[in-house]
Amino acid sequence: AQKITQTQPGMFVQEKEAVTLDCTYDTSDQSYGLFWYKQPSSGEMIFLIYQGSYDEQNATEGRYSLNFQKARKSANLVISASQLGDSAMYFCAMREDGGDDGLTFGKGTHLIIQP
């Protein structure tokens, strides 16, 4: 069974600093996908970035990058030059190619950017 662990319930970061949100996962499958989503207080889940288990390069999308360490089963999200609008809940999720469930989510990290 797949499992996602996010060990940081909450983080305070100064505006313009870089921030790393931790995510470790557990799976016995060799082929899977890892995802990060942002959930503002409005509730909508916004897709940020995707990393495939066979991707050799770390994924990047604008200010977001994923630090993927397969052997350690970690997929940390890095946000560069944080902005006030980055304040939100952040969820790490995964899905196995061999599974027939939806996404498995971690419990999330509440990120607050301070001016």
Alpha helix ranges (H) inside 1-115:
none
CB of 29 to another protein, least distance (A): 8
Please give the structure tokens belonging to residue 76. 């940390």
Distance (Å, whole) CA 5 – CA 91: 10
Distance (Å, whole) CA 102 – CA 27: 15
- How does DSSP classify residue 53? T
CB of 61 to another protein, least distance (A): 11
Distance (Å, whole) CA 32 – CA 50: 11
Q: Does 95 bind another protein (CB under 8 A)?
A: yes
**Choice between 2 and 67, CB closer to another protein:** 2
Among 11-19, 62-70, 77-85, 91-99, the segment contacting another protein (CB under 8 A) = 91-99
CB of 20 to another protein, least distance (A): 21
* Residue 44, burial from CB neighbour count under 10 angstroms (0-12, 13-18, 19+): exposed
Among 11-19, 24-32, 57-65, 77-85, the segment contacting another protein (CB under 8 A) = 24-32
Q: Which residues inside 60-79 make contact with another protein, applying CB under 8 A?
A: none
Contact residues toward another protein (CB under 8 A) are 29, 31-33, 35, 37, 42-47, 50, 52-53, 91, 93-108
